[in-house]
Amino acid sequence: MAVATSLGPKLKPARARAAGDGRLVLLSIPILFLAAFLVVPMTVMIAYSFYSQDALTGLPIADFTFDNYRLIFTDPLYYNSIFNSLEVMVTVSVICLLVGYPVAYFIAVQAPPRWQALLLLLVILPQWTSLLIRSFSWIAVLRPNGLIDWALTGIGITSQPLDLLYSRTAVIIGLVHIYMPFMILGVHASLKALDLSLISAARDLGATPFSAFRRVVLPLTMPGISTGLILVALPVLGAFLTPRILGGSSEVLIGNLIEIQFKQLANWPLGAALGALVSVALLIGVAGLSFVGRSRV
């Protein structure tokens, strides 16, 4: 015992150093990952956004100009598409929340426990199909005389084909379908962590079911809601495939413009400026949402 205690203090610093080194190694992995796949590309993109384009060759010139940003904020093509994208993002996020929350609630709270894994699997299952295929499938459903028209005229609600395809509605339907699982999973996780006896306690103290939800369940699941909103809003703002397939030329979102700048017009500086704006907007949004998620508990 005496030997052990006298050795203790001497051993301790060495051990602490060893543990510190271990932590450093462990910490360096995510740091390197973030540096390689987030910080470096972002820096390059932001640098490019201040370049200009050679009028003859179309190649980027490494000078420093605000022209790209000026164009985005003065040309309606660009700023309208940014507003459209934000509108679509908000609409899709809100629909995902309003539909996804009750689904998550049902799975986490009301469904019999042995069904819960299966129900969650069913939620995730569509993700196993390619995004492209899911987006194209909606064409068959939404096109004139497609599945929806066929059904609605069949039961006599409409006589004219609805012009759904290549509209904002079509884009929103497609994006809601694709990103709904993320909302459900985010909310489900926080509902599973909720102590259900708190609902009983609220009811016992005189709360109606709605009041118990509003005063207890909702505030305690804010972290899940903000996670879900981040998981939906982020990719929706950058989405270009689904808007292109279902929106056609009538609904050009920011993602499509970025894609066009890089792939068709080869205007990398302008594309980079658009990309930088989206990234900054997303960072602000994520910071805000995670603040809401944290401050409530």
Partner 1 sequence: MDEQKPQTILSLESIRKAYGTFQILKSLRLEAFDGEFLSLLGPSGCGKTTTLRIIAGFERPDAGVVILGGQEITSLPPNKRDVSTVFQDYSLFPHMTVAENVAFGLVERKMAKTEIAARVAEMLDMVRLGDFADRKPGQLSGGQKQRVALARSLAVRPRILLLDEPLGALDLKLRKAMQLELRSFQQRLGITFIYVTHDQEEALTMSDRIVVMKGGEIQQIGGARAIYDRPANRFVADFIGETTLLDGVVASADAGSGLVQVDTPSGPIRVVADNRPAMAAGQRCCVSVRPEKVRIGEGGANTFDARVETVTFRGPVVEYALQLEKGKMLRASGPATASGAASGDRIKVAWDIADAVLLEDV
Binding residues vs partner 1 (CB under 8 A)? 195, 197-198, 200-208, 211, 215-216, 219-220, 296-297
Residue 84 near residue 232 (C-beta atoms within 8 A) = no
State the burial class of residue 264 (Cβ atoms within 10 Å of its Cβ: 0-12, 13-18, 19+).
exposed
* Nearest distance from C-beta of residue 45 to partner 1, angstroms: 40
Between 168 and 203, CB nearer to partner 1? 203
Residue 63 vs 204, nearer CB to partner 1: 204
Q: Which is nearer to partner 1, 222 or 282 (CB)?
A: 222
Residue 297 Cβ, how far from partner 1 at the closest point, in Å?
6
Shortest Å, Cβ 278 to partner 1: 34
In angstroms, what is the minimal distance from the CB of 282 to partner 1? 28
**CB of 32 or CB of 201, closer to partner 1:** 201
Half-sphere exposure of 228 (CA within 13 A, CB side): 29
Choice between 127 and 208, CB closer to partner 1: 208
Question: Are 189 and 227 spatial neighbours (Cβ–Cβ below 8 Å)?
Answer: yes
Q: At closest approach, how far in Å is the CB of 211 from partner 1?
A: 6
Assign 3-class secondary structure to 46-100. Answer: HHHHCCEECCCCCCEECCCCCHHHHHHHHCHHHHHHHHHHHHHHHHHHHHHHHHH
